Amino acid sequence: MNTSWWMHIATYGAEYYLVGLVAIWLIVTLAHHAHFSCADAEKRWLTTSLLLMSLAGGMFCWIAYLLETGSLMQPDAEFSEAVRDHASPFAMHYFHLITHLGNTSTLTVICVLVVLLMLWLRHFKLAAGSLLAIGGNSILNVSLKDIFERLRPINPYSEPLESWSFPSGHSSGSLVAYGLLAYLAMRLLPSRYHLPALLLGSSLAFSIACSRVFLHYHYASDVLAGLMSGLLWLTFCIAVMEYTTTSSPSHQPSPDKG
């Protein structure tokens, strides 16, 4: 009997997590170089924003369609069961630790500190944009959960959570929060820190998202949908910040001190 590709991934989940992490680094590195290959800053951000929003929006709509038609029920259930049966104790401990970086309390602290820092640096539009990104995503995620009302998978390791499952709030919130930090690093720090910030932010978001599947708080499709909704919202907020601050006299490229 042939094994479905998603069952193969679930069976070797920890190994595929590492493969996915490397793939994320390669994609982010290539995207970073492609983004800054254009000398026209306005055209560069417009093109990048449209591409990312189209990709994220299209992927989210496709996943939502499959969910509503019932096409995801069996693959999601089989994937979760295979992950549970084959995950090593070391992998479970690792993901148990890293998932806390996406908790609501953690992201709230990040939001408050970022906004206060931007206010202290007198970057008022960036402070407002940061609040819009993290706070707005929280409202968006709760609204989407109430629309789809998907039950969470049965979790043998903890008490059932009260909130709905689709899309994953940890996934979307982590992508927005750590992606926002990477964007602010690109805006305010010398260029030698830009790519490392992007790699770190994307690695944290991907790892936290994967932890929700390994710990059985979400189905795989919940996590992917959460990443896509978070990417869509973050890209929109960054586009707003870029549009509103580009003409500001205080908006100057960060000097490369390296």
pTM of the model: 0.88
pLDDT at residue 162, rounded to an integer: 75
Q: Is the peptide bond before 160 cis (omega within 30 degrees of 0)?
A: no
pLDDT at residue 158, rounded to an integer: 67
**Residue 166 contacts residue 144 (beta carbons within 8 Å):** yes
The arithmetic mean of pLDDT across residues 72-94, rounded, is 86
When mean pLDDT is compared over 127-136, 152-161, 236-245, the highest value belongs to 127-136
- Which residues, other chains included, contact 175 with Cβ-Cβ below 8 Å and sequence gap of 6+? 205, 209, 226, 227, 230, 231, 234
Domain positions in the chain: 76-245
Q: Which pairs from 91-94 meet CB under 8 Å and 24+ separation?
A: 91/13, 91/14, 91/17, 91/214, 92/214, 92/215
The arithmetic mean of pLDDT across residues 79-87, rounded, is 83
pLDDT at residue 209, rounded to an integer: 94
pLDDT at residue 49, rounded to an integer: 85
Classify the phi-psi angles of 79: left when phi > 0, otherwise alpha if psi is within -120 to 50, otherwise beta.
alpha
Would you place residue 257 in the very low, low, confident or very high pLDDT band (cuts 50, 70, 90)?
very low
Q: Which pairs from 111-115 meet CB under 8 Å and 24+ separation?
A: 111/135, 111/177, 114/180, 114/181, 114/184
pLDDT at residue 32, rounded to an integer: 83
CA 65, 69, 71, 77 dihedral sign is positive
pLDDT at residue 246, rounded to an integer: 65
Residue 258 above 60 pLDDT? no
Q: What is the pLDDT of residues 223-236, one digit of tens each?
A: 999 999 999 999 99
Would you place residue 159 in the very low, low, confident or very high pLDDT band (cuts 50, 70, 90)?
low
Would you place residue 256 in the very low, low, confident or very high pLDDT band (cuts 50, 70, 90)?
very low
Closest CA to 212 of 80, 47, 26: 80
**Residue 232 contacts residue 60 (beta carbons within 8 Å):** yes
Least trusted range by pLDDT, from 122-136, 204-218, 244-258: 244-258
The arithmetic mean of pLDDT across residues 101-121, rounded, is 93
Higher model confidence: residue 5 or residue 29? 29
The arithmetic mean of pLDDT across residues 161-189, rounded, is 91
H helices of 123-193, in order, are: 124-148, 169-188
Measured distance CA(128)–CA(240) in Å, rounded? 10
Work out the mean pLDDT of the chain and round it to a whole number. 86
Higher model confidence: residue 176 or residue 247? 176
The arithmetic mean of pLDDT across residues 157-171, rounded, is 81
Closest CA to 228 of 151, 166, 135, 184: 166
3-state secondary structure at position 216: coil
Give the distance from CA 46 to its chain's centroid.
Answer: 20
Q: H-helix or E-strand containing 238? A: helix 220-245
